[in-house]
Amino acid sequence: MKALEERILAEGEVLPGGVLKVGSFLNQQIDIDFLMQMGKDIAQAFEDCGVTKVITVEASGIAFAVAAAYYLGVPVTFAKKNKTSNASPDVYSAYVDSFTHGKTYEIMLPKEYIKPGERVLIVDDFLACGNAIKGLCKIISDAGATAVGAAAAIEKGFQGGGDELRRDGLKIHSLAIVDSMDDGKIVFRNN
C-alpha cells in the first residue's frame, strides 16, 4: 500500500534493535481514516476466504484488527497477555517470545470466544519474527478452528517471520514490507 509506505517514510522512526516506531498514526496515536483504509485493503484481500472471525493479541494490534473486521463484517476477539481477575479460567493458550520486550509471555483466549469450525483471520500491526502469529495459530488449531491467513500492517521482512509462514503455506498479506532499516534508511520490498 503506497500510502502506508509514504507515511512510514514521513513519520516512522528507526529505533535501536531493529524496532520501527509508528506511534504518530498507528500505535500510540491513531489516524482513524487511514486505519480504516488499511482495514479495507485487508478485508479485500481475504474477502473470498469465508472469514468468520478476526483474532489479534492485545494491545497494539486491536485497533487495526477492528478496522479489518469491520469491513469483513465479522467480530474481532483478542488474546490477553496478562491474567486478570475477571478472566475466564477456561482458556486456550500459547507461549510467545517477544523480541521488542525481550521476554516470553503467555497469551490466552477464553474458549467461549473461538469455536470449532470457525474460519479465523489473524491481524496484527507488525509482523517481525512471526512468533505472535504462530502463537495465535496454535490457539486456533487447539480450538478446532482454521487459520485462513494472517495480515499485518507492517512486515519487517529482514526478520524472516513472514517468509517462513508463507513457506509453511499460510496466506500472508502485509500492507508494507520493510526489507531493511540499516543506518536508519528504510527500504521497502517491491511487491
In angstroms, what is the minimal distance from the CB of 50 to ligand 5GP?
25
- d(CA 33, CA 56) in angstroms, rounded, equals 21
Query: Are the CB atoms for 27 and 52 separated by under 8 Å?
Result: no
Contact between 88 and ligand 5GP by CB under 6 A: the answer reads no
- d(CA 1, CA 146) in angstroms, rounded, equals 27
Determine the 3-state secondary structure of 151 from DSSP: strand
Contact between 161 and ligand 5GP by CB under 6 A: the answer reads yes
Q: Given candidates 43, 91, 126, 151, which one binds ligand 5GP under the rule CB under 6 A?
A: 126
Stretch that binds ligand 5GP, among 41-49, 66-74, 93-101, 167-175 (CB under 6 A): 93-101
Contact between 20 and ligand 5GP by CB under 6 A: the answer reads yes
Dihedral sign of CA atoms 112, 87, 134, 159 in order: positive
Q: Given candidates 132, 137, 151, 153, which one binds ligand 5GP under the rule CB under 6 A?
A: 132
Query: Are the CB atoms for 74 and 39 separated by under 8 Å?
Result: no
- d(CA 87, CA 19) in angstroms, rounded, equals 31
In angstroms, what is the minimal distance from the CB of 89 to ligand 5GP?
25
Stretch that binds ligand 5GP, among 39-47, 68-76, 110-118, 120-128 (CB under 6 A): 120-128
Query: Are the CB atoms for 153 and 175 separated by under 8 Å?
Result: yes
Stretch that binds ligand 5GP, among 38-46, 67-75, 114-122, 130-138 (CB under 6 A): 130-138
Contact between 188 and ligand 5GP by CB under 6 A: the answer reads no
- d(CA 26, CA 63) in angstroms, rounded, equals 8
Footprint of ligand 5GP (CB under 6 A): 19-20, 27, 57, 60-61, 98-100, 124-132, 156, 161
